[in-house]
């Protein structure tokens, strides 16, 4: 009886170690966390982030910790302003303007503090236009200016202004599926 108990304990340890090793192998690499059941996943249903994110992509989203620094170019998931919430689905957009910056639209391009922004992630020929009468925004200390990559198909900071940092729920870390689209995100 004692030998059987030791055998069961040893088997449980081996199974647990094997599962841990397999989980670590599957959740590492450029798309790390894609199979992590503890990570949030976001299924792209909007057209606003094409060609970077397209309908049907599954994106792994890292949670944002209080005090986390944001960077221009990061793709974030956030709670949209009430007027745009509709079905209360989160929005996913790219950070363009950071706290304290002035973001403008001029000649079909984004200008940050007077300098044109290089946006190599946009589809060739994409122009940025205003969605209202404003063409310049000063970003507050606890705000971010966000835009979709598919500018013609995006409700974003051009229409609702800068978003509160507190509304950001996560950072898009990687496209997990389909296999042909797997890639780490900025």
Residue spans of the domains in the chain: they are: 1-30, 33-184
Determine the 3-state secondary structure of 138 from DSSP: strand
Q: Is residue 55 among the annotated active site residues?
A: no
Q: Single out the catalytic residue among 18, 63, 89, 93.
A: 93
Confidence band, pLDDT 50/70/90 cuts, at residue 28: very low
Candidate from 33-37, 106-110, 118-122, 159-163 with smallest mean pLDDT: 33-37
pLDDT at 114 over 60: yes
Confidence band, pLDDT 50/70/90 cuts, at residue 46: confident
Q: Is residue 157 among the annotated active site residues?
A: no
pLDDT at 129 over 90: yes
Q: Report yes or no: 123 and 79 within 8 Å, Cβ to Cβ.
A: no
Going by the DSSP 8-state scheme, the letter that residue 145 receives in this structure is E
Domain boundaries 33-184, CATH class = mainly beta
Query: Mean pLDDT across the stretch 78-98?
Result: 86
- Spatial separation of the C-alpha atoms in residues 95 and 73, rounded to whole Å: 5
Determine the 3-state secondary structure of 96 from DSSP: strand
pLDDT at 49 over 60: yes
Q: How far is CA 151 from CA 32, 43, 144, 163, in A?
A: 29, 20, 17, 17
Q: Single out the catalytic residue among 27, 28, 43, 48.
A: 48
**pLDDT averaged over every residue in the chain:** 82
What's the pTM value of the predicted model, to 2 decimals?
0.79
Q: How far is CA 169 from CA 66, 90, 92, 156, 175, in A?
A: 10, 9, 10, 16, 17
- Spatial separation of the C-alpha atoms in residues 173 and 101, rounded to whole Å: 25
pLDDT at 18 over 90: no
- Spatial separation of the C-alpha atoms in residues 76 and 90, rounded to whole Å: 10
In the chain, pLDDT over 90 holds for what percent of residues? 65
């Amino acid at each position: 009886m004692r030998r059987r108990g030791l055998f069961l304990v040893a088997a449980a340890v081996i199974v647990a170690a094997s599962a841990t090793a397999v989980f670590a192998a599957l959740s590492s690499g450029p798309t790390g966390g894609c199979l992590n059941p503890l990570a949030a996943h976001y299924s792209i249903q909007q057209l606003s982030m094409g060609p970077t994110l397209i309908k049907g992509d599954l994106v792994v989203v890292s949670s944002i910790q209080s005090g986390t620094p944001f960077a221009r170019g990061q793709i974030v998931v956030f709670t949209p302003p009430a007027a745009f919430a509709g079905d209360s689905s989160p929005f996913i957009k790219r950070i363009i303007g950071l706290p304290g910056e002035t973001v403008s639209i001029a000649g079909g391009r984004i200008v940050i503090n007077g300098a044109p922004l290089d946006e190599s992630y946009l589809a060739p020929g994409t122009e940025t236009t205003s969605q209202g009468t404003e063409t310049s925004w000063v970003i507050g200390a606890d705000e971010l200016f966000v835009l979709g990559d598919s500018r013609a198909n995006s409700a974003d900071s051009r229409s609702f202004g800068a978003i509160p940092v507190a509304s950001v729920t996560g950072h898009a870390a990687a496209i997990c599926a389909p296999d042909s689209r797997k890639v780490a995100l900025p």
